[in-house]
Amino acid sequence: MSCGNHHDVDCSEILQRVYVFIDDELESASVEEIQVHLDECGPCLDEFDLERSVKKLVHRSCGDEHAPEGLRERILMRITEVRLEIQTEE
C-alpha cells in the first residue's frame, strides 16, 4: 500500500509493524518513526485505526480467555500473506 506521497518510511513497512505498535512492543525510536508517518499519511492512519478497533473488539469479545500459544503469530502471518497477495494484484 502506498498513499502516493513521499515518506521517510514506506507505507507497506509501517503497516507491517502496526500490530507491534498497537501492542506497545516497539523501541522508542520505532514508535516515533511510526507515529510521524501516521501523522502524515491519512490512508495508513485509517488502516491503523481499523486494526486498533478490531483488536479492541476482539479483546472485549474474548474477555479473560487466552488464545493458545502461537495462535497470534499464525494469524499475523496469514494477515501478512493476504496483504502481500493484495499488493501483488494491484
Domain ranges of the chain: 11-89
49/69: higher pLDDT = 49
Question: Cell digits for 65?
Answer: 480467555
Q: How far is CA 83 from the centre of its chain?
A: 11
Give mean pLDDT, residues 43-68: 83
Query: What pLDDT does residue 9 have?
Result: 80
- Does 30 have pLDDT greater than 80? yes
pTM for this predicted structure: 0.59
Which pairs with CB-CB distance under 8 Å and at least 24 residues apart come from 12-17?
Answer: 12/83, 12/87, 14/38, 14/41, 14/44, 15/44, 15/47, 15/83, 16/80, 16/83
Query: What pLDDT does residue 23 have?
Result: 84
